[in-house]
Amino acid sequence: MNRSPALFALALLLAEPAAADAGSAPGGRQVFMTYCRLCHGDAGEGDGPAAKLLADHVRPANLRRSVLIRTEKERIIRAGGAAVGRSGSMPPWGEQLSDAEIGDLLAYLSVLAQPTTTP
């Protein structure tokens, strides 16, 4: 982890929602820290404290390096890994999280995956 926290905070601030339903990246960060960090890690790099405990030993994705487009991310987040032919260790969140929370998460994930925050 050699990224500048200031640069990252700036990227969060600059992540203006493009539309009303685009979600809030700072809000998404809070949802992420509550539900996702255990596997994906504080910085989303797939190295959370529970990452090594997954029964099938599939590594949680490095969300900073994700190449999935927004709709693909939304699908795996809502339906879980198994529903898209990937590891069932990625749980389905569609019942647990509200549409607003998922929108916020997607806004946050797009900031995380920005090249400016991944030197």
Sites of contact with ligand HEC (CB under 6 A): 35-36, 38-40, 50, 54, 58, 60-61, 63, 66, 68, 73, 76-77, 81, 86-87, 89-91, 93, 105
User: Could you give the CA distance from residue 17 to residue 39 in angstroms, rounded to a whole number?
Assistant: 27
Q: Which is nearer to ligand HEC, 4 or 105 (CB)?
A: 105
67 burial (CB, 10 Å; 0-12 / 13-18 / 19+) is exposed
CB of 117 to ligand HEC, least distance (A): 16
Q: Which is nearer to ligand HEC, 61 or 107 (CB)?
A: 61
Give the rounded distance of the alpha carbon of 32 from its chain centre: 6
